[in-house]
């Protein structure tokens, strides 16, 4: 698996990945869908987007390089436990900040706990690695 920051040139491939996933896991604020215009804004600098690739994209993760906040994770359930720890470690090495995000949906939080996330107060989960 390879991890890298996405560029504007990756927009079509990311959009295709989002639209054609089987058994997707998507965790975003208020679980709202993200449209193509918003993806383009992210790639213009609103958020950083990390990609995990293994014969194509298997995970996308939008996050803040400045704060470590995770904004949208998009991965199949098949690749969740395999790819998410890889991107979290990569982000930590890039930023020096442990990934964190808000999660109020208990089944989703349980998945994150299994990867080393802990409660950090006010509905925030933080990855402790």
pLDDT digits (tens, 9 = 90+) for 76-89: 989 988 999 999 99
Asked whether the predicted pLDDT for residue 126 surpasses 70, the reply is: yes
Are the C-beta atoms of 51 and 4 separated by less than 8 Å?
yes
pLDDT band for position 1 (50/70/90)?
Answer: very high
pTM metric for this prediction: 0.86
For 76, counting Cβ atoms within 10 Å of its Cβ (0-12 exposed, 13-18 middle, 19+ buried), the class is middle
A 10 A CB-CB count for 30 gives 6
Q: Name which of 47-56, 70-79, 98-107, 116-125 the model is least confident about.
A: 98-107
Give the model confidence (pLDDT) of 8-63 as tens digits.
999 999 999 999 888 777 776 555 678 899 899 999 988 899 999 999 999 999 99
Q: Name which of 37-41, 62-66, 108-112 the model is least confident about.
A: 108-112
Q: Give the pLDDT confidence score for residue 48 in this predicted structure.
A: 94
Q: What domains appear along the chain, each with residue ranges and CATH number?
A: 2-96 (3.40.630)
Task: Report the C-alpha gap between 69 and 64 in whole angstroms.
Answer: 5
Instruction: Name the average pLDDT for the chain.
Output: 87
């Amino acid at each position: 698996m390879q991890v890298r920051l996405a560029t504007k040139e990756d927009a079509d491939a990311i959009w295709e990945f989002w639209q054609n996933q089987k058994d997707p896991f998507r965790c975003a604020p208020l679980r709202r869908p993200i449209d193509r215009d918003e993806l383009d804004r992210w790639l213009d600098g609103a958020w950083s987007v990390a990609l995990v690739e293994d014969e194509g994209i298997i995970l996308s993760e939008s996050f803040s390089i400045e704060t470590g906040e995770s904004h949208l994770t998009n991965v199949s359930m098949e690749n969740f436990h395999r790819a998410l720890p890889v991107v979290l470690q990569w982000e930590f090495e890039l930023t020096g900040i442990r990934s964190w995000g808000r999660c109020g949906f208990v089944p989703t939080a349980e998945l994150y706990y299994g990867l080393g996330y802990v409660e950090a107060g006010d509905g925030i989960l933080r990855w402790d690695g």
